Chain A
Amino acid sequence: MAQQQGKPEKFLAFNGDEAVAFAAKQSDVDVVAAYPITPQTIIVEKFSEYVANGEVQTEFVCTESEHSAISASLSASTTGARTFTASASAGLALMHEILFVTSGSRAPVVMAVANRALSSPINIHGDHSDSMAERDSGWLHIYVENAQEAYDSIIQAFKIAEDPDVSLPIIVGLDGFTISHTLENVNILPDEVVKQFVGERVLPMVMNHEGKTVPFKLDPDNPMTMGPNVSSTYYFEFKRQQEEAMKNALKKIQEVNANYAKLSGRSYGDGLVDTYKLDDAEIAVVVVGSTAGTLKVLIDELRNEGIKAGLLRLRTFRPFPAEQLQNALKHLKALAVMDKSMSFGGLGGPVFAEVRNALFDLKQHPLIINYIFGLGGRDSNPLGLRKVFENLQQVAKSGQIEDIVHYLGLKE
């Protein structure tokens, strides 16, 4: 289903960063507080242009560090403003402390992360080390496949994060350079359609210290103490509530994905996982981000060769869609989980550990191996990725796993 309201579809040539900035603009954000870092910089540059040309009423706070960018985003959000920021790599790492404070404060800040490697050695190229290191920070994590999905997901992100039953911050991850700097034709919705879809920010209603039910924000009419000192008597309960919000987000992400599909004709699986030729597959790969596009091409080739290969792209990493993964992957003989980051000293990468954990409870589960790949922007082309499926065929045939963790495209 194409564009509604009888209007012709509109395409703009955007790279991923520009698509993100455009989506934030259309979402009518009140405050953007950010600090430039490659490969996210185009987002703040583009947004600065909107501000300079009077295209938005947004207050743009160009801070002196990422730490202040996220701190100002958090406080703007607690004041009731729709808030957006963007970062990557070292910048996201500098935000680390405040990421936890943001989720703990239940501030629905939307952040685009143009995923990039972490130092040292310094490397500006794409991998998932930065946001995977923040997997336990209490933020929702969505990873996109291309610039189109980056655009769509930023719009969806406001709707998901600001839902009063969720009220959690969200990271939308787009692969550095592969998505952030690559030009695509992006199908955009009209301004008013986006504005209507996202709507005004609805604040959760809470009881303040005077026993009154008031909107959850810093409001001189209804004074509230936010970010109090909470000892062992209540801290645990605060954290448990965050987990409940994560569960609510699992439903909300699916609902927003479905509603957005009605509007745009575009959806990404069920919003949590997006599959390709998986239903009748015997071997498959789980991947996060842009590599899914390359894998689809490869899977088509493999299918032509009579190999029953399939793909599951993990779109939502937090909350982790364990049930969806169990249902989608249970029939496979062998499965490779691809990680674009490392968990040093751990058993495989973070995505592998989570997926394997989720499948453990199945009565019969596929043999599961892990591939670490693409670190620091190392290219992952169809020829290289073919090795993963060759190995999977071997595993499926023998019923044996020789090595659990593999490094793809490593010079050794």
Chain B
Amino acid sequence: MTTTTQDWKFTAKDVALKPDLFLSGHRACAGCGPATVLRMIMKATRGPTIVTQATGCMEIVGSIYPYTSWGLPWLHTAFENAAANASGIEAAIKAMRKKGKIKQEHIDVIAIAGDGGTYDIGLQALSGAIERGHDFLFVLYDNEGYMNTGIQRSGGTPTGASTTTTPAGTAIPGKLEKKKPITEIIMAHELEYVATATPYYWKDMLTKVRKGLEVEGPAFLHIFAPCPRGWRTDPSKTMAYSKLSVETCVFPIWEATNGKRALSTPSKMYSLAPEKKKPVTDYLKDQGRFRHLFKPENKHIIDQIQQVTDERWQKLLKQCEQA
């Protein structure tokens, strides 16, 4: 990692004073988790930065012509190619710097995509860009579905969730498959920095963004971002769900530097005091997308969710110990 060009204390005051780069006036829903994520992570930028974004909710809401929410250079081209766009931007910067056509000493490149643009349609371009070693930070905002097109399942949709393509019916109770372990796939690329975060723990999230930017090469940040519209949750409870996802170990937060994994403080607590770990039902019970699971005939799915959550948590603990 290189030394940072700015001090990164990320105190509440510092963050509040730093001018927004994802500006107000965007068209996101009330309580939108991803919009909060975008606004916050842009506070962690450290200098000249170019953002490229995959098609999705957050791409649409911030760029409704002739308006824009972006205070920095921003490019959208398509759904599946955010990482390929980042590759091209980074290559252009490198080439033009060599030829003296760019005066900035360094320009950070951030690619942003939702779970559709990362887990599914964007996975190939992402894998290729990481393998090629481009210097960029890929930010996945994971709201667990294709929310932009009206709440369809993605590879990131969790088991049991009702979406418009996995509706809770009389024969099939929502999505039957597991949530794809995307960070494991990314970790297998052996890149320098991979982390997970969620906006309730905003300081942790901002620190991880900055660390990802400081890596010379690809870095990946998986941010869990509740979607009240898609999850059928109270818009005022977005941060509560962000917190609960960590408290139930549904979405543990950790970081891995050169393959060495370490739990981040909020999740570490549940490894030190396992009894404090909350049951998944605390997280599931008031989400409309899981409502049908609380019918007696679907109890086994809740058990299955608890079991998979526990298994994945135990696996993660081992991965952190091994390091």
Contact with A along B214-254 (1 / 0, CB 8 A): 00000000000000000000000000000000000000000
Which residues of A37-72 are within 8 A (CB) of B? Answer: 57-59, 61-65, 67-69, 71-72
Contact with B along A212-254 (1 / 0, CB 8 A): 0000001111111111111100100000000000000000000
| B-side interface size class | 35 or more
A230 to chain B, nearest CB (A): 4
Beta-carbon nearest neighbor of B71 in chain A: A223
Report yes or no: B99 in contact with A57, Cβ–Cβ below 8 A: yes
List, in ascending order, chain B residues with CB within 8 A of A270's CB. Answer: none
Rounded to whole angstroms, the CA-CA distance of A78 and B91 in the bound complex is 12
Beta-carbon nearest neighbor of A107 in chain B: B77
Report yes or no: B81 in contact with A226, Cβ–Cβ below 8 A: no
Instruction: Output the residue of A31, A57, A72 with the most chain B CB within 10 A.
Output: A72
User: How many residue pairs between the two chains, A and B, have CB atoms under 8 Å in the bound complex?
Assistant: 163
List, in ascending order, chain A residues with CB within 8 A of B72's CB. Answer: 220, 223
Is the CB of A165 closer than 8 A to any CB of chain B? no
Report yes or no: B92 in contact with A76, Cβ–Cβ below 8 A: yes
Contact with A along B35-54 (1 / 0, CB 8 A): 00000000000001110100
Known: A30-B95, A72-B84, A75-B92. A228 touches B49 (CB 8 A): no
Rounded to whole angstroms, the CA-CA distance of A336 and B63 in the bound complex is 50
Report yes or no: A61 in contact with B78, Cβ–Cβ below 8 A: no
Q: Which of A31, A62, A101, A223 sits near B70, CB closer than 8 Å?
A: A223
Rounded to whole angstroms, the CA-CA distance of A219 and B51 in the bound complex is 11
Q: Which of B86, B91, B125 sits near A31, CB closer than 8 Å?
A: B91
Instruction: Output the residue of A67, A68, A69, A79 with the most chain B CB within 10 A.
Output: A79
List, in ascending order, chain A residues with CB within 8 A of B84's CB. Answer: 63, 67-69, 71-72, 75
Which residues of A1-57 are within 8 A (CB) of B? Answer: 30-31, 33, 57
List, in ascending order, chain B residues with CB within 8 A of A72's CB. Answer: 84-85, 87-88, 91
| A-side interface size class | 35 or more
List, in ascending order, chain A residues with CB within 8 A of B128's CB. Answer: 63-65, 68
Which residues of A361-412 are within 8 A (CB) of B? Answer: none
Rounded to whole angstroms, the CA-CA distance of A31 and B68 in the bound complex is 29
Report yes or no: B96 in contact with A80, Cβ–Cβ below 8 A: yes
Rounded to whole angstroms, the CA-CA distance of A68 and B123 in the bound complex is 11
Report yes or no: A220 in contact with B107, Cβ–Cβ below 8 A: yes
Is the CB of A105 closer than 8 A to any CB of chain B? yes
Is the CB of B13 closer than 8 A to any CB of chain A? no
Which residues of A250-281 are within 8 A (CB) of B? Answer: none
Known: A72-B84, A98-B78. A79 touches B89 (CB 8 A): yes
Instruction: Output the residue of B77, B88, B98 with the most chain A CB within 10 A.
Output: B88
B278 to chain A, nearest CB (A): 39
Is the CB of B305 closer than 8 A to any CB of chain A? no
Report yes or no: A75 in contact with B99, Cβ–Cβ below 8 A: no
Rounded to whole angstroms, the CA-CA distance of A221 and B80 in the bound complex is 28
A190 to chain B, nearest CB (A): 20
Is the CB of B3 closer than 8 A to any CB of chain A? no
Is the CB of B170 closer than 8 A to any CB of chain A? no
Known: A71-B81, A223-B73. A228 touches B95 (CB 8 A): no
Rounded to whole angstroms, the CA-CA distance of A352 and B78 in the bound complex is 34
Rounded to whole angstroms, the CA-CA distance of A234 and B64 in the bound complex is 11
Report yes or no: A80 in contact with B92, Cβ–Cβ below 8 A: yes
List, in ascending order, chain A residues with CB within 8 A of B129's CB. Answer: 68
Which residues of B58-73 are within 8 A (CB) of A? Answer: 59-60, 63-68, 70-73
Report yes or no: B91 in contact with A61, Cβ–Cβ below 8 A: yes
Is the CB of B101 closer than 8 A to any CB of chain A? yes
List, in ascending order, chain B residues with CB within 8 A of A67's CB. Answer: 80-81, 84, 124-125
Rounded to whole angstroms, the CA-CA distance of A229 and B70 in the bound complex is 13
Report yes or no: B76 in contact with A228, Cβ–Cβ below 8 A: yes
Rounded to whole angstroms, the CA-CA distance of A59 and B135 in the bound complex is 13
Rounded to whole angstroms, the CA-CA distance of A229 and B95 in the bound complex is 30
B21 to chain A, nearest CB (A): 9
Is the CB of B186 closer than 8 A to any CB of chain A? no
Q: Which of A57, A77, A220, A230 sits near B73, CB closer than 8 Å?
A: A220
Rounded to whole angstroms, the CA-CA distance of A79 and B48 in the bound complex is 13
Is the CB of B93 closer than 8 A to any CB of chain A? yes
B98 to chain A, nearest CB (A): 5
Rounded to whole angstroms, the CA-CA distance of A74 and B82 in the bound complex is 12
Report yes or no: A71 in contact with B85, Cβ–Cβ below 8 A: yes
Beta-carbon nearest neighbor of A217 in chain B: B73
Report yes or no: A209 in contact with B66, Cβ–Cβ below 8 A: yes
Report yes or no: B52 in contact with A101, Cβ–Cβ below 8 A: no
| Contacts A31-B95, A75-B85 supplied; 19 other A-B pairs, CB < 8 Å | A30-B101, A59-B92, A61-B91, A64-B125, A67-B125, A68-B87, A68-B128, A75-B52, A75-B86, A76-B88, A77-B88, A79-B92, A81-B91, A83-B92, A98-B77, A98-B78, A101-B78, A209-B68, A223-B70
Q: 13 A–B contact pairs at CB < 8 A?
A: A30-B95, A30-B99, A33-B91, A67-B84, A67-B125, A74-B77, A75-B88, A218-B74, A219-B73, A224-B73, A228-B76, A229-B64, A230-B65
- Residues of chain B having any CB pair with chain A under 8 Å: 48-50, 52, 59-60, 63-68, 70-78, 80-81, 83-89, 91-96, 98-99, 101-102, 104, 107, 124-125, 127-129, 131-132
Chain A to chain B: the 8 pairs with minimum beta-carbon distance, closest first: A64-B128, A72-B88, A75-B88, A220-B48, A68-B84, A79-B92, A71-B84, A81-B92
